[in-house]
Amino acid sequence: MRELLGREPSGRFEIVVRDASGDPVVIRNAPFLDDGTPMPTLYWLCGAEEYVAVSRLEAAGGVDRAEAEVDPDELRHAHDRYAAEREALIAPDHAGPRPSGGVCGTRQGVKCLHGHYAWFLAGGEDPVGRWVADHLAEVPS
């Protein structure tokens, strides 16, 4: 992970999706960094090929397109599910600051296709991640 990130990871994580050669594609972060800072991004897309492909889709206007084409109620429910999944990882007696928002810390709309796609690849019911999967082939490599 150090090689993929270009730095030492700042918190605990587990690899939840690997490619055919065994390299990490998606990690699930702990809700807090090692220093206690809340980490709103539970799922992180770290596969180099996947990251570049999604970046190209974003550069081609993918964030605006996804937000326009995905049902807003379905998206809102996805943000709520993501937040609930992350909240379930926090000790009930935790009294300090908590991560907030849904996918990538967003409360509404689409902020980052990478985060949505990561959660989708990890098995999350994410309509934007599904949209990304359906549209990745549109962007030339």
Model confidence, pTM: 0.93
Q: What is the pLDDT of residues 25-62, one digit of tens each?
A: 999 999 999 999 999 999 999 999 999 999 999 999 99
The pLDDT > 90 percentage for the chain reads 87
Give pLDDT tens digits for 91-106.
999 999 999 999 999 9
CA-CA distance, 28 to 86, in Å (whole number)? 10
Q: Is 38 helix (H, G, I), strand (E, B) or coil?
A: strand
Residue 138 pLDDT > 80: yes
What local confidence, expressed as pLDDT, does residue 67 receive? Answer: 95
Query: Please, which pLDDT band fits residue 17 given cuts at 50, 70 and 90?
Result: very high
In this predicted structure, what is the pLDDT of residue 114?
Answer: 97
Task: Locate 114 and state its tokens.
Answer: 């990478």
**DSSP character string of 95-130:** -S----SSGGG-SSS-S-HHHHHHHHHTT---HHHH
